[in-house]
């Protein structure tokens, strides 16, 4: 929950609400980009960010993203984050 | 040093480890009289054990595990209040998975769910917002848990709910802040700490200046660190060098992610939605002044405490910790996890008695998982 996970911004889904699609380890997840946007959200396309509980919190470069992901995998935290995202999707459908 | 082979760059790791050993010697620290460095963040505690950094560093260096795991410092009374909220028939209770197994005095959220409460694990408060939109006849409560790293996410979610007039979404706010418990530990006459490894992702939000008091008022070094094992080793070396040189400064080893002044959008959202509580209860540390946040009156419609009459507004809520549980003493660095009489016996990750055994960021769970022979010897 606290370590976050790197993701790449691949689409803007709602620029007024600062929502974007991020690709995290091959999984797509809608995230809020208000904390990293400097101007219109479209400027973030292709950028990498550290994503904490669905919010992009810091811009990082691609090399830092790869290194962070490797460190998270070592701690088992990358898998944990991906499982939490899947659990979040299931919760939306009312599956308990 | 076979463990160093696990590092992405073993050569760099060995070089830093050699310098750590040299500076520890120069300080004159020994196994009998070690230099004591606290890693504040639970993520760092996890990484230290995962990579065996406590075994790779000299005996004259002692890691003291700090209170930086939000699940671990959550008092039982708060878990009881979560269960109380979740058991209301109109409520859909949403939470990060980390909180599910924390024991309450009656039951954990996991047990409450098994008993029929509508409790849903989510990845993000954004999921809770979406559940509220899809279930207008139900009350959706999100369990707001965590330090400054996760606080912006609930602040921005409350602002989003307010902007769209979502009337069935509230947050049960248990957000806490890192600097106040550090001050409590520094004021504790039984505690001897020589320096700190500061939290990386908390500092990404708040910047490095909230730690100035550690250097200026207490004369102790602190280095904000990243999460890769090499980051941690470099940060420990920077703390040791400050101690050797008689310096006390706030340094930033993780500048590639942590801006000096933090993240302005996050800081503004936190200030807009939240204000400090007069005091907040921490497991093992008791009530600490201005260490927790509550939702401002302007956003009371999104405050589960105000809407359902639970929490600090309710009557006396003191719940004693379970008998024989030494989480408090471990949390304050007085004893190591293996010295707790329940460690590995009445308290395991599968059946935790205390919160430090629940989360992978808790010191007890880290000892249990990675302690290997050291932990087993003690238990057997």
Per-residue confidence (pLDDT) for residue B357, from 0 to 100? 87
Summarised one tens digit per residue, pLDDT across range B255-267 is 999 999 999 999 9
Query: Which chain B residues in 22-61 lie under 8 Å from chain A, judged by CB atoms?
Result: 41-43, 46-47, 50-51
Contact B371, B45 (CB under 8 A): no
Dig out the tokens for A67 from the structure.
């290194």
CB atoms within 10 A of CB A59: 18
- B271: phi then psi, degrees, rounded to nearest 5: -65, -35
Summarised one tens digit per residue, pLDDT across range B116-151 is 999 999 999 999 999 999 999 999 999 999 999 999
Q: Please, what sign has the CA dihedral across residues B21, B27, B33, B37?
A: negative
Interface probe for B, chosen from A1, A59, A64, A85 (most Cβ of B below 10 Å), is: A1
The pTM assigned to this predicted structure is: 0.92
| Residue of chain A whose alpha carbon sits nearest to that of B232 | A71
Contact (CB<8Å) B228/A68: yes
Q: State the pairing for strand pair A48-52/A55-60.
A: antiparallel
Name the strand (E) or helix (H) holding B224: strand B222-224
Q: Which domain holds residue A24?
A: 5-95
Per-residue confidence (pLDDT) for residue B314, from 0 to 100? 64
Summarised one tens digit per residue, pLDDT across range A8-18 is 999 999 999 99
The structural domain count of chain A equals 1
- State whether residue B274 is helix, strand or coil: strand
- Indicate which CATH number applies to the domain containing A38: 2.30.30.140
Summarised one tens digit per residue, pLDDT across range B19-47 is 999 999 999 999 999 999 999 999 999 99
Distance, CA of B168 to CA of B208 (rounded, Å): 37
């Amino acid at each position: 929950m606290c370590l976050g996970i790197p993701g790449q911004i691949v689409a803007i889904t709602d620029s007024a609400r600062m929502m974007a699609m991020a690709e995290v380890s091959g999984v797509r997840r809608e995230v809020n980009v208000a904390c990293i946007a400097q101007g219109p959200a479209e400027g973030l396309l292709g950028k990498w960010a550290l994503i904490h509980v669905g919010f992009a919190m810091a811009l990082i470069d691609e090399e830092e993203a790869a290194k962070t992901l490797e460190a998270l995998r070592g701690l088992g935290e990358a898998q944990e984050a991906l499982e939490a995202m899947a659990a979040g999707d299931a919760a939306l459908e009312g599956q308990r | 040093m076979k463990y160093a082979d696990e590092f992405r760059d073993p050569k760099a790791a060995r070089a830093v480890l050699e310098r750590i050993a040299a500076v520890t010697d120069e300080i004159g620290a020994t196994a009998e009289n070690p230099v004591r460095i606290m890693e504040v963040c639970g993520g760092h505690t996890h990484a230290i054990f995962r990579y065996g950094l406590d075994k790779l560093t000299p005996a004259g260096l002692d890691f003291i595990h700090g209170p930086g795991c939000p699940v671990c410092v959550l008092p039982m009374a708060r878990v009881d209040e979560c269960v109380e909220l979740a058991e209301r028939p109109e409520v859909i209770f949403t939470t990060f998975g980390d909180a599910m197994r924390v024991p309450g005095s009656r039951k954990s959220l996991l047990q409450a769910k098994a008993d029929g409460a509508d409790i849903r694990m989510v990845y993000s408060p954004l999921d809770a917002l979406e559940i509220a939109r899809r279930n207008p006849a139900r009350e959706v409560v999100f369990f707001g848990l965590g330090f400054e790293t996760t606080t912006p996410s609930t602040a921005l979610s409350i602002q989003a709910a307010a902007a769209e007039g979502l009337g069935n979404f509230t947050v049960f706010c248990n957000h806490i802040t890192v600097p106040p418990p550090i001050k409590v530990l520094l004021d504790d006459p039984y505690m001897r700490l020589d320096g700190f490894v500061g939290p990386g992702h908390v500092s990404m939000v708040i910047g490095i200046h909230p730690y100035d008091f550690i250097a200026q008022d207490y004369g102790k070094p602190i280095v904000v660190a990243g999460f890769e094992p090499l980051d941690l080793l470099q940060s420990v070396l920077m703390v040791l060098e400050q101690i050797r040189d008689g310096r006390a400064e706030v340094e930033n080893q993780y500048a590639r992610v942590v801006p000096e002044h933090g993240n302005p959008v996050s800081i503004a959202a936190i200030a807009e939605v939240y204000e400090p509580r007069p005091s907040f209860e921490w497991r093992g540390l008791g009530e600490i002044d201005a260490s927790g946040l509550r939702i401002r009156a302007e956003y009371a419609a999104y405050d589960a405490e105000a809407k359902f009459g639970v929490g600090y507004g309710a009557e006396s809520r003191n719940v004693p910790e379970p008998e024989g549980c030494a989480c408090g003493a471990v949390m304050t660095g007085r004893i190591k996890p293996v010295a707790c009489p329940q460690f590995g016996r009445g308290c395991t990750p599968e059946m935790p008695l205390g919160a430090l055994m629940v989360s992978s960021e808790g010191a007890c769970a880290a000892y249990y998982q990675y302690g290997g022979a050291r932990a087993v010897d003690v238990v057997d």
